[in-house]
Structure 1
Amino acid sequence: MDKIIRIGTRSSELALWQANTVAEQLAHFGHKTEIVKIDSLGDIVLDKPLYELGITGVFTKNLDVALLNEEIDIAVHSSKDVPTKLPEGIVQAAYLKRGDFNDVLVIKEDENFFTKNSALIATGSLRRKAQWLYRYPHHKITGLRGNVITRLQKLQDNDWDGAIFATAGLKRLKLLPEKEKHIKLDWMIPAPAQGAVMIVALEKNEELIEICKEINHEETATCVKIERDFLQTLEGGCTAPIGALAMIFEDEIKFKGALFSPDGKHKMEFYKEVAVNNATDLGKFGANYILERGGKKLMREVNDIEKSTLIYSTKSLSHDQTAILNSKIGVTSSDFITIRNNRLKPVIVKKPIKNVLFTSQNAVEALLNNFSPMELDFENIYCVGRRTKRLIEKRIGKVKHVESYGEKLANFLVDNLEEKEITFFCGNIRRDELPTKLTENNIKVNEVECYQTQLTPRKIEEKFKAILFYSPSGIESYLKENKTNDIVAFCIGETTASEAKKHFKNVKVSKLSTVESVLNSVNEYFNETIKES
């Protein structure tokens, strides 16, 4: 293939390691490549809504959309993060040779805590938590989120005895501590496909799929399929602590799969050795073996424990985000809005602009989708939200002033804006309070609509005790198909909460304007209910 193969990846260090490894292996066979970082949905133009295409996982969603839009040719994923059912039109193209599949305990001080009555171990994985408590029931588990570097730093900053990581990630980033500071957990059954790197492509791109086969590692592909079959058959849509590992020794496959209760008190395990050519349905067979011998009852218990309190998020949540929630809180999530960037004329930023205003990250990303930072000559930048501020200062320049919500920023601008004119980069759906307040106080507002917010409403069941909102548009979308009833509305900030109070009797506002803060407020609110259940 003469064409340069565009390799899509997220921009984390580990994701880039994976993508660059794929690039190196393709180069070995004479193929030219380029790395394309995809961290936002960009300009979505699809024939069907994301959920109808099977695109639901936050880890893979952005890359799937970019692939379907043909902005990239292949996407590279950590296989354990990929849903067992791939989106419509996307297929597995290859696996790299699997890395170390084991988990590892990184120790804070030394191993002496094993001799004590209790210990505090950090992990954000339900599987790791369940297996650790099964082996060490007198220990306590605390949550751990973030990328690998962040989690290692948190271990140093907190009073924990150790934290559990995937060995492959630490090795690939050259962050595995010295021998005295880590313990290989060879007794812990890894997550299905842990340590494996998956390459996906469009099903219709047959030539590219053939090229990917040149770097495909057959043994890894065989083993990972068995593990993912086990997961898909056993899970049935319910999040549960599941481990699976298949290994090939000469002409024989050894497979072990297990299901645990979240509290680590119960375990069901399957083990079998078969000839490689007889292993086609080994994963499904193992899952059904467990289900027929008490696994269904355990899965129901897992479901009851996980979902004794049910909530619904109007924005898709990542694995790390759902791990924030108490294990007895079950969450379903999907996107009630999608964003499409507009194409902007160069004349908009041709001249320097004295004052500019942003009220969302979407507006910042939409602007940068049209222009490079070098083209943006802004003297004074004002914005709403700390995360918007961080994005602006990372990509464009210094923010002169930030407020937590629009009304407060409007008041500040009325009192402090010297030149009574400001350019407002916004979406098609916005609240009128801020520009209206500015206009009423003789400040000229030049609005630039740089993205479109598209409502994607859907009907949800009445079993949920709370609904999580992240924007007034999300509330509007929700109300198109659902009633408010007595459900609790958790909101990301005052602007969203103000809209929610028009429709809901019980509205809770997060302390910070972050998804994580919303989830923490859910934990706090339902804390007593969970204790009683």
Structure 2
Amino acid sequence: MSLAQKELVLHGNLGLVEYDAIHIRLVDFNFNGQYDCLVFTSQNAVLSYVRRKKLATPTLKGTVGNRAVCVGEKTALLLERNGVEVLASAANAKTLGQLILEKFPDTSFLFVCGNLRREYLPCLFQKHNIRYKEVVAYETTLRPRLFKRKFDAILFYSPSGVQSYVALNALANTTAVCIGPTTLAEAKKYTHKVIQATKPTVENVIVQAVKYSSTAKNP
């Protein structure tokens, strides 16, 4: 969490305990063939792709157009800052999938993803006979930590973050404030008290937590 994001928490009069529930490791990858467009569903995938292109060797045999579709405003900004043209972006993978079917049905895709990527886009590509290949560009590992205290709310930014927390802690009587629908779906497995951010950003998750706290204090 950045300093500006922490200030949002403090200005909302919230107490904060912060820890890294997951560990991300960027990995090298190779691919063969030619693809028209890149697909990204996370900023970590973009960072790994940019790193891989800078360190490109003859073993990186494939070619891909300098265009992309992606999930998330910040992912789109990161791509643009690194010289990649963003053809379309969406708030989540399901909406991005709809855009792909409507606007790019004859386009071939290189899906740059993590080892815990969701099944939605690969299933969509297969169902509609869209040519694609996926490459694992980063690995996510869980870092469970036991907390001997109860929290009023927990902020989650990924399904793997939920999995890491519940590995050693109960979530049943705690409100989960989630960044998006896939994270919300994972949290719902462990608690019925869930809130989804109106925009998939860290800042909006914090805003929803502040609103929840204010409502809880002044019902």
Give TM-score scaled by structure 2 length: 0.88
**Aligned counterpart, 1:14:** none
CA contact (8 A) 1:356 1:378 kept: yes
**Aligned counterpart, 1:323:** 7
Flag the structure with larger Rg: 1
Residue 192 of structure 2 is aligned to residue 505 of structure 1: yes
**Aligned counterpart, 1:353:** 35
Give TM-score scaled by structure 1 length: 0.38
**Aligned counterpart, 1:453:** 140
CA distance in 2, matches of 1:445, 1:399: 18
Residue 120 of structure 2 is aligned to residue 433 of structure 1: yes
Equivalent residue runs for 1:380-459 within 5 Å = 380-419=67-106, 421-459=108-146
**Aligned counterpart, 2:46:** 364
CA distance in 2, matches of 1:362, 1:445: 20
CA contact (8 A) 1:404 1:513 kept: yes
Residue 198 of structure 2 is aligned to residue 516 of structure 1: no
Partner-residue secondary structure (3-state), 2:20: coil
Query: 2:137 is matched by which residue type in structure 1?
Result: C
Equivalent residue runs for 1:322-341 within 5 Å = 322-325=6-9, 326=11, 328-341=13-26
CA distance in 2, matches of 1:523, 1:398: 36
Residue 216 of structure 2 is aligned to residue 529 of structure 1: yes
Query: 2:5 is matched by which residue type in structure 1?
Result: Q
CA contact (8 A) 1:492 1:513 kept: yes
**Aligned counterpart, 1:491:** 178
Residue 169 of structure 2 is aligned to residue 482 of structure 1: yes
Partner-residue secondary structure (3-state), 2:17: strand
Range that drifts further, 439-448 or 495-504: 495-504
The alpha carbon displacement at 1:464 in A equals 0.6
The alpha carbon displacement at 1:397 in A equals 1.6
Aligned Cα root-mean-square deviation (Å): 2.3
**Aligned counterpart, 1:187:** none
CA contact (8 A) 1:381 1:398 kept: yes
Number of residue pairs the alignment of both structures matches: 213
**1:167-214 deviation digits (Å, cap 9, x = unpaired):** xxxxxxxxxxxxxxxxxxxxxxxxxxxxxxxxxxxxxxxxxxxxxxxx
Work out the percentage of aligned pairs sharing the same amino acid.
32
Runs of 5+ consecutive residues of structure 2 not aligned to the other structure: none
Q: Give the 4+ runs in structure 1 shifted more than 4 A.
A: 373-377
Runs of 5+ consecutive residues of structure 1 not aligned to the other structure: 1-316
Greater RCO, CA 8 A, separation 6+ = 2
**Aligned counterpart, 2:159:** 472
CA contact (8 A) 2:69 2:86 kept: yes
CA distance in 1, matches of 2:190, 2:150: 19
Go from structure 1 to structure 2 and tell me whether the alpha carbon gap of 1:399 and 1:373 turns closer, same or farther (over 3 Å shift). farther
Query: 2:49 is matched by which residue type in structure 1?
Result: L
CA distance in 2, matches of 1:480, 1:521: 25
CA distance in 2, matches of 1:318, 1:384: 21
Go from structure 1 to structure 2 and tell me whether the alpha carbon gap of 1:491 and 1:530 turns closer, same or farther (over 3 Å shift). same
Query: 1:414 is matched by which residue type in structure 2?
Result: L
Query: 2:41 is matched by which residue type in structure 1?
Result: T
The alpha carbon displacement at 1:371 in A equals 1.3
Partner-residue secondary structure (3-state), 1:520: helix
Range that drifts further, 406-415 or 323-332: 323-332
Query: 1:488 is matched by which residue type in structure 2?
Result: T
Query: 2:202 is matched by which residue type in structure 1?
Result: V
CA distance in 2, matches of 1:380, 1:485: 43
